[in-house]
């Protein structure tokens, strides 16, 4: 097979599995917060994000730049295309990545124990990478379907993107924002841990569990407070 054909195959596979991952994250976060699913918009966002990611990683090797840009692109798509309130677009983006990376980090550790990965995160197109992406995405789709089936999730994301959100120190919205804001930095730190300190990468899921536990606790408190306020 010619080099150009190999590159095209790598590009096609990268696009397919990256769009699969992005779609899974959108589905999960929309199910968690009872937001309607926008299939065309999600696929469009996934394709754009995957293409940008491939160029940055494959052509320039800018892995960490790509991570930050992926967060930014998902936020912009939620805010400008899905029309989610700016503050909640930030919150939902952070939670989407925290949930997905928790699941993926568990699978990464399991696969590493079987010798499929060594002490580095796979950045290039490999079969093991596609396996990791597939099982992570499928697990997220199953979780999203379970949330939908049980009719659970949170109701506090406002319908209007222009609604004024109070941001005082006791505001639950501010607490949620602060819990999700460090998500890209945590992701970069954990990637660095996996690359350089293999004996510590088992702590990665613990980090995500702690953040998600705090987020879910605050979210339930906010949902409960909003429900009581509406009943008055």
Residue 164: φ, ψ to 5°: -80, 125
Average pLDDT of the chain?
Answer: 85
What's the average model confidence in pLDDT over 12-26?
A: 95
What's the average model confidence in pLDDT over 117-130?
A: 64
At 140, the pLDDT band (50, 70, 90 cuts) reads very high
37: left (phi over 0), alpha (psi -120 to 50) or beta: beta
Q: Are 90 and 180 in contact (CB under 8 A)?
A: yes
What is the C-alpha to C-alpha distance for residues 99 and 142, in angstroms, rounded to an integer?
A: 13
Q: Which domain holds residue 118?
A: 3-231
pLDDT tens sequence across 39-83: 999 999 999 999 999 999 888 888 889 999 999 999 999 999 999
Residue 158: φ, ψ to 5°: -70, 150
pTM of the predicted protein model: 0.88
What is the C-alpha radius of gyration for the chain, rounded to an integer number of angstroms?
A: 18
What's the average model confidence in pLDDT over 102-112?
A: 88
**pLDDT at 149 > cutoff 90:** yes
Residue with tokens 């339930």: 220
What is the C-alpha to C-alpha distance for residues 219 and 21, in angstroms, rounded to an integer?
A: 25
What is the C-alpha to C-alpha distance for residues 111 and 132, in angstroms, rounded to an integer?
A: 8
Angle between helices 183-196 and 86-113 (to 10 degrees): 20
CA 225 to centroid of chain Cα atoms: 27
What is the reported pLDDT for 122? Answer: 45
Q: How many CB atoms lie within 10 A of CB 228?
A: 9
CA 188 to centroid of chain Cα atoms: 13
Residue 155: φ, ψ to 5°: -110, 5
Number of domains in the chain: 1
Q: Which long-range contacts (CB under 8 A, 24 or more apart) does 104-111 make?
A: 104/132, 104/136, 105/190, 105/204, 105/205, 105/208, 106/205, 107/132, 107/135, 107/136, 107/139, 108/132, 108/194, 108/204, 109/201, 109/202, 109/204, 109/205
């Amino acid at each position: 097979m010619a080099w150009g054909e190999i590159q095209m195959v790598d590009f096609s596979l990268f696009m397919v599995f990256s769009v699969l991952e992005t779609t899974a994250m959108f589905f999960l976060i929309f199910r968690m917060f009872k937001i309607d699913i926008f299939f065309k918009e999600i696929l469009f966002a996934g394709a754009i994000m995957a293409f940008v990611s491939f160029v940055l990683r494959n052509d320039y090797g800018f892995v960490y730049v790509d991570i930050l840009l992926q967060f930014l692109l998902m936020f912009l798509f939620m805010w400008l295309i899905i029309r989610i309130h700016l503050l909640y677009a930030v919150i939902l983006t952070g939670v989407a990545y925290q949930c997905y990376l928790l699941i993926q980090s568990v699978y990464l550790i399991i696969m590493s124990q079987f010798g499929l990965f060594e002490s580095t995160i796979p950045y290039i197109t490999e079969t093991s990478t596609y396996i990791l992406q597939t099982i992570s995405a499928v697990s997220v789709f199953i979780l999203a379907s379970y949330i939908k089936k049980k009719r659970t999730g949170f109701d506090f994301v406002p319908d209007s993107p222009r609604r004024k959100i109070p941001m005082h120190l006791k505001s639950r919205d501010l607490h949620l924002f602060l819990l999700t804001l460090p998500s890209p930095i945590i992701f970069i730190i954990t990637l660095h841990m996996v690359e350089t300190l293999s004996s510590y990468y088992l702590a990665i899921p613990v980090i995500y569990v702690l953040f998600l536990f705090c987020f879910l606790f605050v979210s339930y408190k906010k949902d409960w407070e909003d429900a009581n306020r509406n009943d008055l």
